[in-house]
Amino acid sequence: MALTENGELFSWGENRFGQLGSPNSFESLEPILIGNHIISLACGANHTLALTKSGQVFAWGRNNYGQIGINSNTDQSIPVKIIALEPHFIKMIQCGGSHSMAVTENGTLYAWGGNSFGQLGLGNCLHQITPQLVKMPKFKDSAIKVVVKSIACGEHHSLILMSNGEIYSCGRNNHCQLGSISTPTSEGSCVPIKITSTDRFITIVSHFDTDFSMAISTAGYCYVWGECANEEQPIRQPRKTPLISKQDAFAFYCRKSVTPSLFRMDLEGRSRIRMAGTRIIDRLRQSFNDPKAYDVEFIIDSQSIYVHRGYLQLASNYLNRMLADEWIDRENEKEPITITILSYSYKVFYSYLRYLYTDSLEIDDDDNQCWIEMLDLAHCFLEEDLLQKCLDSMRHSLSIVNCCHYYQAAIRFRMKDFENEIVIFFFNNIFDVCRSIGFKSMASDLCKSLMSAASEIAI
């Protein structure tokens, strides 16, 4: 599914149960426009909910447990309005594996669909083919009315965030996904139960294909519980992590490779001129480092790189300033400009200039020093896109060998998120990392810092 900024909804892929929302029963290899004026989307295992600007909810797909909410169990191949919710203005929707939930603008919660484990929170385990009001506990001691703020659904469990920052959960608990130490894993709960925590929360997240739960506290930290990766036993209650991003929390702790929510795509591309696929850009790429046609020569370690002043001034703000007339000292303006670079190695500066011409960064994954040097260049030259490419590659190639080197780089360049990711990797591989050359060569203060950060995870 894809939702545009203009509210257009597109779908593609498998369509066995009508989950594409198209009257055509065949699967589609290309995006199909199926709706407009949509502001939010929620996907279950084989069904979808869509929320319109006017607060109405449409649903389609598999309906074997009534998860479409239209008073029947018949699958729906095109979007149908959930009439039972019409009297209310809905502000939020979520889907579990086969159940659905919606929150009204007044903070009232409705649930319907599969309920084999009590995931609807209705006090029973009966499937519901129309939306049912979920009764939340009364907050008699609160001076301000406490209502439902947000919801999240796993495969067979549900999380409910209240406006006072408390979290309630219901449904299956076979992997401790409810986060309540008082609830036996074999039983679960068919009514919302409070998750005991000294912290308050602003965000809750799960995924329809997992028994994993997470939340973000008011202090900005991610807490995780349930079925987690790299854990022999499920985490029974919310555990604080050093992470501050739900995407990072899912990447590091969720056992399944899933996307926790809709993610935004930058379709406008980068700010510098990109004309990929045209003859002009192809010729420009071929002209990189051509000694027969150039007007700027960079000399690094006695080696030359031949480039073009006009293009570099368009491609890089930093090089634009470097190549400005007031900084160039030469007697004959017709002669090529020669600049000696002392701050970076030939390999790194060559890769950077080639990147400006081709948008491709060719550095071996295991060339740790080169990546760190390129990271330095990206910081110095204020190249945000290049910086992100470096981080993505370093994250992908994080290993026992380079863990400590990258930790030092993360500290040096104040990349807190990357630093936290490395700490978690270190925690999960502590014995192997401690035997590595990188760890043994680290400064004592950095070793202490890394060990101290890892100890916080274990608490």
Q: Are 196 and 180 in contact (CB under 8 A)?
A: yes
Relative to beta strand 296-300, strand 337-340 is parallel
Q: Three-class SS of residue 184?
A: coil
Distance (Å) of CA 291 to CA 20, 107, 186, 294, 346: 55, 68, 73, 6, 17
Copy the structure tokens of residue 449: 């810092």
- The pLDDT, as a whole number, for residue 458 is 56
What crossing angle do the helices spanning 416-428 and 444-458 adopt, rounded to 10°? 70
Please report where in the chains the tokens 């894809």 appear, as a residue.
2
- List domains and CATH numbers for the chain: 2-253 (2.130.10.30), 280-458 (3.30.710.10)
Cα-Cα-Cα-Cα torsion 111, 191, 202, 179, nearest 10 degrees, comes to -130
Half-sphere CA count of 53, side-chain side, radius 13 A: 7
> Across the strands, what pairs with 169?
159, 193
Please report where in the chains the tokens 């854990």 appear, as a residue.
231
Q: Are 35 and 79 in contact (CB under 8 A)?
A: yes
* Amino acid present at 357: Y
- The pLDDT, as a whole number, for residue 456 is 79
Q: Three-class SS of residue 81?
A: strand
* Integer Cα distance of 288 and 284 in angstroms: 7
Consecutive H or E run containing 93: strand 90-95
* Integer Cα distance of 59 and 18 in angstroms: 11
Q: Are 246 and 222 in contact (CB under 8 A)?
A: yes
Copy the structure tokens of residue 296: 């700027």
Q: What is the DSSP string of 308-337?
A: -HHHHHHH-HHHHHHTSGGG---S-TTSPE
* Integer Cα distance of 37 and 366 in angstroms: 47
- The pLDDT, as a whole number, for residue 329 is 59
* Integer Cα distance of 12 and 174 in angstroms: 33
Q: Three-class SS of residue 113?
A: strand
Please report where in the chains the tokens 């005991």 appear, as a residue.
196
- The pLDDT, as a whole number, for residue 99 is 98
What string of pLDDT tens digits covers the 459 residues of the chain? 899 888 899 999 989 899 999 887 788 888 989 888 899 999 999 999 999 999 999 999 999 999 999 999 999 999 999 999 999 999 999 999 999 999 999 999 999 999 999 999 999 999 999 999 999 988 776 667 899 999 999 999 999 999 999 999 999 999 999 999 888 777 899 999 999 998 899 999 999 999 999 999 988 889 999 999 888 899 999 999 988 888 888 988 999 888 887 766 554 444 344 444 456 666 777 888 888 888 889 999 999 999 998 889 888 889 988 887 655 655 666 788 888 999 999 999 999 999 998 888 888 877 889 999 999 999 999 998 899 889 888 888 888 889 999 999 999 988 888 888 898 888 888 898 899 898 988 999 989 999 988 887 655
Query: Cβ contacts of residue 18 below 8 Å, gap of 6+?
Result: 25, 60, 61, 62, 75, 76, 77, 78
What crossing angle do the helices spanning 403-412 and 368-381 adopt, rounded to 10°? 10
- The pLDDT, as a whole number, for residue 38 is 93
Q: Are 390 and 416 in contact (CB under 8 A)?
A: no
